Amino acid sequence: MWFLENLNEGGKNWFDKFKKLYDLLLSLIFLIISLPVWLIIIVFIKIDSKGGVFFTQSRTGLNNKNFTIIKFRTMKIDGNDLSLTKKKDKRITRVGAFLRKTRLDELPQLINIIKGEMSFVGPRPERPEFVEKLEIEIPFYNERMLVKPGITGWDQISGEYHSPTTKDSLKKLQYDLFYIKNRSIYLDLSIVLKTIATVLSKTGR
């Protein structure tokens, strides 16, 4: 209720337009610069395990519209039921474990940003089947879809890992609503810098 009573989207219009521009420009620059890294990752994924290089999955984004998210594959194909990832999950490959810790598995999402489906910073997009369930169980859950989902976000730098369970999603929603209400160039920059620190320290999951 606090969020809804204090939300002022009119004052965010200029920021959202500016963010759309720098998302596109930066994603194009990062894509070009990171291409050699892509090639190295692709080679190691192919050597390490059978299966394709990329992992794609339907996610819910801005205004509850579904899109296909792209990541580097970090799990084995054989025997994978696509259930939630667990700690020390045996489905994760050796290369996949490194990609997850450094968050390099997220690199292909630069394509999602260029297509206008995602942003660098925003709430992480969930699978449609999870969203349908959480909309029923958590009040105002839909409000997190007021902005584009991001590669990283306020929740991702919180120091906690939040799964798509109802309990964790409620915690995640509080971080997401804080970001939506207070989003700004300064907040986006601070989130990006803290994400870079996470990548360098290899504390991702």
**C-alpha distances out from residue 171 to 13, 143, 168, Å:** 27, 14, 5
**C-alpha distances out from residue 126 to 29, 70, 168, Å:** 27, 13, 13
pTM, two decimal places: 0.88
**Does residue 24 register a pLDDT over 90?**
yes
Q: Compute the distance between CA of residue 191 and CA of residue 85 in angstroms, rounded to an integer.
A: 24
Q: Which residue has the tokens 């999955």?
A: 57
Question: What's the pLDDT at 4?
Answer: 65
Question: What's the pLDDT at 156?
Answer: 85
pLDDT tens-place string over residues 82-114: 777 777 788 999 999 999 988 899 999 999 999
